Structure 1
Amino acid sequence: MTLRAELTVPEDVITPGEALTAHLRVWNESRIVDAYQLRLVGPPAYWPDAGPDLGQLPVYPGNHEKINIPLSLPRDSELTPGPLTFAIRVASVEDPAAVAVPEADIQVGEFHEATIEADRARVGGALWSSNLVLVENTGNATATVRLRVAPEAEDAPLAVSLRRSRLVLKPGEQARVALMTRVRTPMFTGTAANWPILIHLEQEHAEDASATFTHRQRPLVPKPVLKGLIMAVTALVAFAVLWISPVGGKKPKVAAESAKGPTQMEAVQQEQKKEEDAKKKEEEQAEQKAEKDKKDKEDAGALKKKTVPISLVVSSRPGGKLEDSYVVPQGYRLAFKAVQLTGSGTGTLFVLVSGIQQASQPVNSPKEVPIPETLSPKEKEKVTLRLDCQPPPTGGQSPGPGPSASAGPSAGPGTPSTCDATAVIVGELIPLKGPDSAEIKPPA
């Protein structure tokens, strides 16, 4: 049975978050009424809430039907700009061997978006405080942002500074920027005051964003401590008055001994020890800061996870190739999500991962190949689709029921047949190193 299908999409660039309509035409060139099962293949298969199945499309003999397929691109930073290939698998209900998989490309555009927030909503201190500004590029293109920070009140006795004011972030990348608040006019005593601080984020191709946090300025001497000092001084004065007064009791004696205390040598040694302890503490803090900066730099340059569609095509036609491979990029390993094999003709398909055969099936038998979760080829390893095309049966008749199975002159013994096959693979590239890397569980 002959099956022909065509998939078209608008040539316009579609920004993530927008919708488009794909058009599918299916021709029934057989002599019977047939229905065709439709299923999305590729990344768009995960977008609709109802799943990849699109239902059935009935077509009368000699006619064709058109169906509109609405798609909404998710506003996700992992949806990279450029052509996004997807397909629709069209399978006959009457003849399961009749399958067509038309493909089309969606032109994905760029979108710019970033978020900002303070790590702590409230900080406090009598002389200074510190906080972190968290910035994330939620768009799908590299973004350049600038940060500005200042107290909301013009009369606030604060000076606020950022460690970095300009950031360049890749899609999905996050950054943390240290922020320091210094009190220019400290309070000795009194009631604590709250000062809101505004953080403003400016973007080149998107709307600005902002976040706020509060610095609580505390007095140098809190009220409980001040009350305690007043009580202690009052008690000391009262005790001294009673001691020197006639009512106080004994007459004070004149001290004949000299005041006791450390010698000059001991005082010098104590001062040297304090300086050595302070220097050692500064060296330890410098080492901790260097280690933190090194880790932040490594995290900023680490590779990120991304979902990739892979299409492998083999054919015995002139100009075709019997083997097609995909090589895992440098620094990644490939985790399989779905592998769909389709084809036509007489022969056998072989799927090899890292040179080891994982599956084989007849060319004209569509199938979803299960790939073990623990099988994950690493950088420079290959995923290969190999075609072994076999000659048609002798006797001049092509396989298939009915008079329509014979489409041309009979092929003699040993004449090679024409085979076509496609493997549509949806996988996820996972970095071998960095925060997004994940260990592979050993097989049971």
Structure 2
Amino acid sequence: MTVRAELVVPEEPVPPGESLTVHLHVWNEGRIVDAYDLELLGPPAEWDKDGGSLGQLPVYPGNHEKINIPLAVPRDGELRPGALPFAVRVASTENPEVVAVPEAAVIVGEFRDVELEPVRSRTTGALWANNLVVLRNTGNVALTLRLKSAPEQPDAPLRTRLRRSRLALAPGDKARVALAVRVRPPVWVGAPAQWRVTTSAAWGEGDQAHSTDFVHRQRALLSKAAFKALTALTALLIAAAVLWFSPIGKKTPTAKTESAPGLSQADAVEQKEKKAAAQEKKQKEKAEREEEEEGAPRKKTLQKALFVDSKSKALTDRYQVPKGYRLVFKTAQITASGTETSTLLLKAAGKPLASMSTQKAEDVTPKSPVVVKAGDTVTLALDCKAPPPPADGERPGDNGAGSGGAGSGEKESGRPGPADPAACTATALLSGELVPLDGPFSEPDPTRPSGS
């Protein structure tokens, strides 16, 4: 009893947010009617609302059936462009040991999108105000953004200035850009006025753009109460000056001076300069830290499929950790098929993680963290062996309950034929995290004791 399956995937890239249809062909090469349990493996299984279960497919002997598998690619910036491998597990309901795992890859396309919003939706000032605009690349490719800012009303007495007018963002990265608002000319007395300031980010040849805005509330330099108090004080000073210089009385008036309470004018100026210098130093350190983080490598999620197949003589497949990163291995989802004596070996940096029979393949999840250094590899090796020869007087595939059926390895003449060792295949879907070794986003090695 054998089964053969094949996946047919469209060759055109599918942008995230759109759907595609995958065709699965299943051939029943046995002699009896069989039904097959279908299960979707790999990242597309997470997109399916049923968790990857595709139901059952009955197939008559010597025939084949086809089903269509719709896949909705999520619009997620973490889904990078390129080939995304997946597989379908086809298992016989009559004999669970009869399994086929065809593999294919969905070509994920590119999409570009950006989010931007101000930190404060309202600013207030008579002469100036500052704000921050937060930008985040929500697409799956790097973007070079052109930033512009201006008042929405043409007659607004405002001038805006961005600290950076051009910005490069990798997928998932975000940045903050300082925005200064200057009032020219200011208003001495009057009611507050409100002006809307728009900031836009454009990219691409077609100037695709997103924009956001906030409100600047322009206050007068003097409030009504302050203007009345200043007018009264001016009138009082004029009256005092008139009385001072008028020839009234016999005595010559003498000026009296008193020290005002609090800091002197020189001390107040010095204190203000120190405060401004401290604030400028703080902003400079903050800008240097942002520039350092902008180009630093970041942690990445790894999902890599290793595939070995005795038919194509690819008995070993490996993944090498890139330079500047270390891999924190979490789990490996393993599916395999083969003879009773065939085995699988999963190694990390030359050390074995798991060894198992192809007919008893199971997922591998280490109890303690497994760290693979840069340049080291995670290897999946397949040892495909022929099944043991039958005992004297016993035909291949005969379990003591009658004559052997389809797939027993027996020739039609009644004499045992050679075993077919080319039916071994295995897939290991590796999951983990790539952590940078240096930079502001590096993390300590979990396998090393603290303080070492």
* Fold-level similarity (TM above 0.5): yes
Distance 2:57 2:441 in 1: 42
Q: Shift in Å at residue 326 of structure 1? A: 1.5
Go from structure 1 to structure 2 and tell me whether the alpha carbon gap of 1:417 and 1:150 turns closer, same or farther (over 3 Å shift): closer
Q: CA deviation at 1:411?
A: 7.3
- Say which SS state the counterpart of residue 374 (structure 2) adopts: coil
Tell me the equivalent position of 1:85.
85
Q: Give me the whole-angstrom Cα distance separating, in 1, the residues matched to 2:94 and 2:353.
A: 30
Match of 2:162 in 1: 162
> Which residue does 1:101 correspond to in 2?
101
Q: Quote the offset at 1:228 in angstroms.
A: 4.8
- Alignment-mate amino acid for residue 360 of structure 1: S
1:296 to 290, 301, 311: 290
Question: In structure 2, which of residues 327, 336, 344 is the aligned counterpart of residue 333 of structure 1?
Answer: 327
Q: Equivalent residue for 2:24?
A: 24
Give, in whole Å, the separation in 2 of the partners of 1:324 and 1:40: 22
User: Secondary structure, in 3 states, of the residue corresponding to 2:220?
Assistant: coil
345-354 or 365-374: bigger deviation = 365-374
1:218-297 equivalences under 5 Å are 218-229=219-230, 284-297=278-291
Select the residue among 427, 431, 444 that pairs with 2:435: 431
Paired residue secondary structure (2:44): helix
Secondary structure (helix, strand or coil) at the match of 1:132 reads strand
Q: What amino acid sits opposite 1:326 in the alignment? A: Y
The whole-number CA distance in structure 2 between the counterparts of 1:203 and 1:368 is 44
Q: 1:235 to 1:400 in 2, by over 3 A?
A: farther
For residues 312 and 6 of structure 2, the distance between their equivalents in structure 1, rounded to whole angstroms, comes to 23
Structure 1 residues 163 and 108, CA, compared in 2 at 3 Å: closer, same or farther? same
Distance across 1 between alignment mates of 2:236 and 2:352: 92
Q: Is the 8 A contact 1:341 1:369 kept in 2?
A: no
CA distance in 2, matches of 1:361, 1:333: 23
Instruction: String of CA shifts for 1:116-171, please: whole Å, max 9, x gaps.
Output: 22121100111100111122221112222211111111221111111111122222
Relative to structure 1, the CA distance from residue 44 to residue 259 in structure 2 (aligned partners, 3 Å threshold; closer, same or farther) is closer
Residues 340 and 423, structure 1, Cα contact 8 Å, conserved in 2? yes
* Cα drift, residue 34 of structure 1: 1.5
What RMSD, in angstroms, separates the aligned Cα atoms of the two structures?
3.7
Q: Is the 8 A contact 1:127 1:186 kept in 2?
A: yes
Q: 1:170 to 1:225 in 2, by over 3 A?
A: same
**Aligned partners of 2:197 and 2:215 also within 8 Å:** yes
Read off the aligned partner of 1:362 and give its amino acid letter: S
1:352 is aligned to 2:353? no
> What's the CA shift for 1:370?
3.3
Q: SS at the partner of 2:370?
A: coil
Q: From the superposition, tell whether residues 390 and 253 of structure 1 become closer, same or farther in structure 2 (CA, over 3 Å).
A: farther
C-alpha contact (below 8 Å) 2:328/2:369 kept by paired residues: no
Using the alignment, how far apart are the partners of 1:252 and 1:19 within structure 2?
103
Cα distance between partner residues in 1 of 2:269 and 2:255 = 33
Aligned residue type for 1:180: A
Shift of 1:320: 3.2
Deviation, 1:70, is: 0.2
Q: Deviations over 1:36-90 (max 9, x none)?
A: 1111111111111221111111212222111100001111112211222111111
Q: Which residue of 1 aligns with 2:405?
A: 403
Range moving further from structure 2, 227-236 or 54-63: 227-236
Q: Which moved more, 1:290-299 or 1:163-172?
A: 290-299
User: Which region of structure 1 is more displaced relative to structure 2, 306-315 or 142-151?
Assistant: 306-315
TM-fit CA distance, 1:410: 4.8
Please say if residues 35 and 58 of structure 1, whose CA atoms lie closer than 8 Å, have aligned partners that are also in contact: yes
SS at match of 2:359: coil
Structure 1 residue 279, shift from structure 2 partner: 6.5
Q: Which residue of 311, 314, 317 maps to 1:324?
A: 317
Give the CA deviation at 1:102.
0.5
Corresponding residue for residue 7 of structure 1: 7
Instruction: Name the residue aligned to 1:247.
Output: none
Partner amino acid, structure 2, of 1:127: L
Secondary structure of the corresponding residue to residue 368 of structure 1: coil
Distance change (3 Å), C-alpha of 1:318 and 1:202: closer
Partner residue, 1:33: 33
Structure 1 residues 261, 15: CA separation in 2 closer, same or farther (over 3 Å shift)? Answer: closer
Deviation at 1:224, TM superposition (A): 3.8
Match of 1:176?
176
Q: Which residue of 1 aligns with 2:211?
A: 210
The 2-side partners of 1:421 and 1:8 are apart by 19
The 3 A distance-change label for structure 1 pair 253 and 36 is farther
- SS for the counterpart of 1:384 is strand
5+ residue gaps, structure 1, are: 245-250, 263-268
Structure 2: unaligned runs, 5 residues or longer = none
Q: Write the distance in 1 (CA, Å) between the matches of 2:5 and 2:312.
A: 22
After superposition, the Cα gap between the structure-2 partners of 1:317 and 1:72, relative to the gap in structure 1 and judged at 3 Å, is closer
Deviates more, 1:349-358 or 1:222-231: 222-231
Go from structure 1 to structure 2 and tell me whether the alpha carbon gap of 1:226 and 1:303 turns closer, same or farther (over 3 Å shift): same
Counterpart in the other structure of 1:71? 71
The separation in 1 between residues aligned to 2:318 and 2:435, in whole angstroms, is 21
- Paired with 2:179 and 2:44, the residues of 1 have a C-alpha distance of 42
SS at match of 1:364: helix
- Distance change (3 Å), C-alpha of 1:257 and 1:306: closer
Number of matched pairs: 428
Letter in 1 for 2:327: R
What is the CA deviation profile of residues 350-383 of structure 1, one whole-angstrom value per residue up to 9, with x for unaligned ones? 2223433332221123433334473353433332
Q: What residue identity is the alignment partner of 2:388?
A: P
Report the Cα offset of residue 431 of structure 1. Answer: 2.7
- 312-321 or 194-203, which deviates more: 312-321
> Who is 1:59 aligned against?
59
